[in-house]
A and B are shown apart, each in its own frame.
Chain A
Amino acid sequence: MFQNFRLSMAWLHTWFGLVLGFVLMVVFFFGSLSVFDREIDRWAIPSSRFAPQPMPSFDTILKPAFERMQPDKDAIALLDGRVDGPLPERFEVVRSWGAYTTHRDPVVSVFAGFEVPRAKDPDETVFASHALDPRTGAVLPQGQLRVGSEFFYPLHYSLHLKWKDLGTWIVGFSALMMLAALISGVVMHRKIFREFFTFRRHKTVQRSALDLHNLTGVVALPFHFFFAFTGLVIFAGIYFPVAHTQLHELHELHERVEARETGLPHERAGVAAPMASVDAMVAQAQRRWQAKGMAGDVGFVYVSHVGDANAYVSVYRAGTDRVALTGEGIHFKATTGELLREDPPRSAVDSVNEFLTGLHLQHFRHWLLRWLYVLGGLLGCVCIATGFLFFVEKRKQQHAKAGSAGSRVVDALAVTTVTGMLVATMAMLVANRLLPESLADKGDWERTVFWSAWGLAMLHAFARGGALARARMNPAWREQCGLIAAGAVTAVVANAVTTGDHLGRTLAAGYWPVAGVDLSLLATAAVAILAAGRLGRRAKATATGQSPAVLAAAEARHG
């Protein structure tokens, strides 16, 4: 079908890159924002703007909170069709309790898994999850959406398309195509070393877009490759659910064997029994880590078979100083506090897997690396966006002459996915500040604003796309840049007005989560204004036939 290897790779890169590029743009951008998702949460939920706390006392703070938890209506609704008879309203038998903290989060995340009475699958579990104030155990208001960790972050791996995990599958396929695009891109790029630093700004849009596309793709190639690859590894259980289907029986065999070998019971005994002091167990775990030369904070506490004689408590060390997520788990019998098992050092395969997943999920404490990750993500966005620009520029003239709408459609979709996405993000942040704190379902309103703003941006992009019929640039690019700048500044001002935590105060106090978001918003506004200006000059230049550089110089002279 293709005459040679290079041409086949070029076709693959162009067409799969184009189609999946729209998805990848969303994944990379919201992935970049997710690096600082907890900080965005602090900006969005002012009542949570206090300093990160260590894991609070289980006995006095967490246990009472756990005992009050029940799944909410959304979680129960997921059981539809999986239960015989009507949906249960209360869930009494608790399979598990889990609590985890991070060095970035002032809140502690807690979840509880419950057995489902009359479920078709005996292993069916329904979950409840909350964010607690670790100082008091109070549940953080439910209606308030954690814009970073509950919206932007899941958007980047699932597109919020939950039906049968469809969004996750789409993202997964896009990730695979990202890998294919990287390899095929390298195959196509004959001058990969010679043009390593090349960015010819003053040439045609087609040439400079391609230069920038190649540059941003190559210099961060390890980053792009590893993030797509590790993303797939993290969700491999969803994409290839072998252990839960074809090898299900082998899995069950393993669980029974493991329960015997580790002394950690696989099933409930069916006998109710009270829990001993978990705080004492946690203290013992910390002493043991210290004795091994690995003193550390507690990252994760997990109780299995809650309320049963077979219950056990697992304490894991927080992985803040290395790439692996958590580790060095120590397990105690819940009724007596007796030590059951200390996890042995990791095997080679396990270490590799923990490294790969940890590199993506970023539980480590390393602010420079986090910002470098944001840089990598933004370079990925530039790579994809310039890919669109190159595609359109290359075909604009021919399509205009032939009366074909191809490049017009691609261009409008590109505007939607690049600037439109930013417009929606700004709109959501502004809405977050302007809507009253006490509004019930405030989160639902914020989500509606996000999706509506994006939809409107798309309509705008298509409406203004007539210019492409004359082989000109779509003015929507410039106009949406203006909207982004206005939105970003409005968000910063709205934060100052509604919370009083303006930059003067947050910088003086060194409260970086909020200061960081405000500064990033202002930087975005600056870039958007610069971009709008440049695009405006280019549009004028194309109209009058002059080069944009000449036009800029003329403007500067006239002051």
Chain B
Amino acid sequence: MPSAAMTDLAPTPSRAPGRLPPLALLSRIGAAVLGGYAFCWGFIAVVHAGLYGLGMPFHDAEHLAAILGVLLYLVAFLWTFAARRVGLCWAVLLVGGGLMTGAAALIQRALLA
């Protein structure tokens, strides 16, 4: 006899993807995958350039940024699915990613000068 634990957690066929609004679903997946990627790109770029600017060896900064960046992608991905409004996720991830990417560019320009 299946216990309550089994049936109430994983979605049953009546809530299969066909039933979840497809556009909303695509938006959420898009935000998680693409928005998350953009956000993490920005994070890795700004942490890498920033730490190098602060004196950390280049490859150390590169590796630390990547290690933290991968974990951040996981967090962003989970958050995007847990969040109530996907619009908020798109906004935070894209704007945040853009700002951080821009900041990294500025740091690079400053260091090259």
A residues at B contact (CB < 8 Å):
1-2, 5-15, 173, 176, 179-180, 183-184, 188, 190-191, 204, 206-207, 210, 229, 232-233, 236-237, 240, 242-243, 246-247, 249-251, 253-254, 258, 347, 349-350, 352-353, 356, 394-395, 398-399, 406
With beta carbons under 8 angstroms apart, the residue of A11, A253, A258 that contacts B11 is A11
* Interchain CA distance A237-B63 in the complex, whole Å: 9
Find chain B residues with CB under 8 A from A247 CB.
45, 48-49, 104, 108
Find chain A residues with CB under 8 A from B90 CB.
none
B11 A14 Cβ-Cβ under 8 A: yes
With beta carbons under 8 angstroms apart, the residue of A5, A12, A206 that contacts B2 is A206
SS of B interface (majority): helix
B13 A207 Cβ-Cβ under 8 A: no
With beta carbons under 8 angstroms apart, the residue of B10, B58, B59, B82 that contacts A8 is B82
Count the A-B residue pairs with Cβ separation under 8 angstroms: how many? Answer: 128
A353 B82 Cβ-Cβ under 8 A: no
B residues at A contact (CB < 8 Å):
2-3, 5-6, 9-13, 16-17, 20-21, 24-25, 28, 33, 40-41, 44-45, 48-49, 52, 56-67, 69-71, 73-74, 77-78, 81-82, 86, 101, 104-105, 108, 111-112
A233 B67 Cβ-Cβ under 8 A: yes
Find chain B residues with CB under 8 A from A352 CB.
63, 67
Given A180-B78, A242-B44, A399-B13, answer yes or no on A210-B64 (Cβ-Cβ < 8 Å): no
Please name the 6 residue pairs, one residue from A and one from B, whose CB atoms are nearest each other, closest first.
A236-B66, A254-B58, A349-B60, A353-B63, A232-B70, A10-B9
| Most chain B C-beta atoms within 10 Å of own C-beta, residue among A6, A12, A173, A207 | A12
A240 B25 Cβ-Cβ under 8 A: no
* Interchain CA distance A5-B82 in the complex, whole Å: 5
Given A183-B78, A191-B5, A258-B58, answer yes or no on A395-B73 (Cβ-Cβ < 8 Å): no
Given A1-B24, A246-B101, answer yes or no on A240-B40 (Cβ-Cβ < 8 Å): yes
With A11-B81, A232-B70, A406-B16 known, 10 other A-B pairs at CB within 8 A are A7-B9, A8-B81, A183-B78, A190-B5, A246-B45, A249-B112, A253-B112, A254-B52, A398-B13, A399-B13
Given A247-B104, A350-B60, answer yes or no on A14-B25 (Cβ-Cβ < 8 Å): no
Find chain A residues with CB under 8 A from B112 CB.
249-250, 253
Distance in Å: Cβ of A224 to nearest Cβ of chain B: 13
* Interchain CA distance A11-B10 in the complex, whole Å: 6
Find chain A residues with CB under 8 A from B21 CB.
1
Q: List the A residue with the shortest CB-CB distance to B58.
A: A254
Distance in Å: Cβ of B102 to nearest Cβ of chain A: 11
With beta carbons under 8 angstroms apart, the residue of B64, B65, B81, B111 that contacts A12 is B81
Find chain A residues with CB under 8 A from B20 CB.
1
Find chain B residues with CB under 8 A from A6 CB.
9
Q: List the B residue with the shortest CB-CB distance to A395.
A: B13
B111 A210 Cβ-Cβ under 8 A: no
* Interchain CA distance A129-B67 in the complex, whole Å: 30
Distance in Å: Cβ of A259 to nearest Cβ of chain B: 12
B74 A180 Cβ-Cβ under 8 A: yes
